[in-house]
Amino acid sequence: MAANAKKNDDRSTPPPLPEPLAVPVADSHTHLDMQSGTPAEGLARAASVGVTTVVQVGCDVPGSQWAADLAAEYEQVHAAVALHPNEAPRIFLGDPDSWSGQRRTPGGRAALDAALAEIDRLAALPHVLAVGETGLDYFRTGPEGVDLQKESFRRHIEIAKRHGKALVIHDREAHEDVIAVLLEEGAPERTVFHCYSGDAAMARTCAEHGWYLSFAGPVTYKANHPLREALTATPLDRVLIETDAPFLTPHPYRGRPNAPYLIPVTLRAMAAHLALGEDELATAIAANTARAFGY
């Protein structure tokens, strides 16, 4: 019992602060609303180790409004607003198993249109710099939701282009279809693949189109050789970094709570793999993130 309690305590204990980066960088994708403590506390911890900017990402209408409000309050926060790929089918078809935490009845076309209208409204705000995370997710949503996901994705692309905002892609087990939709619709000038999970060949395809690839904690996991090969294949001027916190905590803290202050752990692992100095990589990532999100 004592050993099990200790193990559980370890998994719930936040990792220690890493050594600060000499060159400040941005966490290009985080969810402060899902993390413990206040946003002010999370931002202060991040800044103390050289993570001076974060992109707060919304996954539904309330979360997107929260992101926009936070970005209006804090200069170092930029907002991205969207319906997550899994959210669109839940709005239209309902959520009988309450996976989202909100047991919902089917809302149909009217509910989906109303939600997308709210995302459109938020995307017009000056402190909202991106539309996302949007895309396709074939892991969580079954076949009945695929067409709704694609429709939602296409409408987010149109919103991003009309407002001149970056597009943030969520792509889970849907690589070919995500790229197909982007090419059919015409990707926005600034397109970011959040938590990139494709292989090196896909990374080269993305590079050909000028898309940015954002790498998260999984690039540090021992078994993820194909992901590190993808990092190698990505031009340095298209590499971003993120936490996707509170998810995807980097090695050696996998399974414990993630937060923006752990960006240096992932960055140092990426620099070692690329045989670059951490300052050189941080300088490139800082410039890339500002260019990708337009700040």
Check whether 194 is labelled as a binding-site residue: yes
- Does any domain span residue 132? yes
- Does any domain span residue 249? no
Q: Which CATH number fits the domain that encloses residue 194?
A: 3.20.20.140
- Does any domain span residue 79? yes
Radius of gyration of the chain (CA): 18
- Tokens 């899902």 sit on residue: 34
Check whether 251 is labelled as a binding-site residue: no
- Does any domain span residue 3? no
Q: Is residue 155 within 8 Å of residue 190, measured between CB atoms?
A: no
Beta bridge partners of 81: 131
Domain extent, residue 207, equals: 56-238+268-277+287-293
| Residues 6 or more apart in contact with residue 32 via CB below 8 angstroms | 39, 42, 43, 54, 56, 70, 77, 245, 260
- Does any domain span residue 133? yes
Check whether 244 is labelled as a binding-site residue: yes
b/e per residue, 122-138, with b = 16+ CB within 10 A? Answer: bbebebbbbbbbbbbbb
pLDDT tens, per residue, the chain with 295 residues: 344 444 445 788 999 999 999 999 999 999 999 999 999 999 999 999 999 999 999 999 999 999 999 999 999 999 999 999 999 999 999 986 655 566 789 999 999 999 999 999 999 999 999 999 999 999 988 888 999 999 999 999 999 999 999 999 999 999 999 999 999 999 999 999 999 999 999 999 999 999 999 999 999 999 999 999 999 999 999 999 999 999 999 999 999 999 999 999 999 999 999 999 999 999 999 999 999 999 9
- Does any domain span residue 104? yes
Check whether 170 is labelled as a binding-site residue: yes
Sign of the Cα pseudo-torsion (82, 86, 90, 92, in order):
positive
Residues, the chain: 295
- Does any domain span residue 150? yes
Q: How many domains does the chain contain in total?
A: 1
- Does any domain span residue 196? yes
CA distance 111 to 90: 10
